[in-house]
Amino acid sequence: MTIGLLMLDTLPGYYQPPLYLTPNIYETPLDIIYSGKLPNSSHPNSMSDILNKFDPNFYRFEFYNTSDIYEWDDYNFQKRSPERKGTYFFKNYNYLNQNYSYIALANSISFDSGAVLMNQMNKAIIRNATKDPLLNVTAINHPLPYTNKIKELIKIGNGLGAAFTFGMGMV
């Protein structure tokens, strides 16, 4: 029985490898809606400048013309689907100072989509600011370590499994 407990406790069944947070973890291209306040007249294409820094193989952008955040939110609610991973709203951008502010709504069904959306937008903003189209930012989701309570539950489960296996052997 001690050998059975030792074997069950050392099996790698509870390990999850790190996940690289890139758009290709989903079926691509991702359909993304974007909206926002119109930029100042000296740089009328600021939103496009940023969105052009995204990899076109992974994204298909749809512009919804509104500067009202509530109207944008309602439009996204109407267009919701499990396949849609998120949307962006540009709140503020100052092209000269490279100061950008945005809101990203992520589909909670795809629990990694929020981190993917944030990483991709931040990477596009950095590429735009540095004028380096090849700059890359890698985001990796490492699963959180187990709490003591979860470790205790795993040990209990392993013990029950070993007891069941041992009991079946006695029959």
pLDDT in tens, the chain (171 residues): 444 444 445 544 556 778 888 888 888 788 888 888 765 545 555 677 788 888 888 888 888 988 899 999 999 999 988 888 889 998 887 767 777 889 999 888 887 888 888 999 989 888 888 889 888 888 887 766 777 887 888 888 887 777 777 777 776
Query: Considering only CA atoms, which of 61, 60, 58 is closest in space to residue 23?
Result: 58
Cα atoms in the Cβ-side hemisphere of radius 13 Å centred on 63:
11
Q: Are strands 140-141 and 19-20 parallel, antiparallel or unpaired?
A: antiparallel
Rounded Cα gap, residues 19 and 141, in angstroms: 5
Rounded Cα gap, residues 63 and 4, in angstroms: 59
**pTM of the predicted model, to two decimals?**
0.69
Q: Looking at the domain that runs over 19-141, which CATH code has it been given? A: 3.40.190
Rounded Cα gap, residues 111 and 113, in angstroms: 6
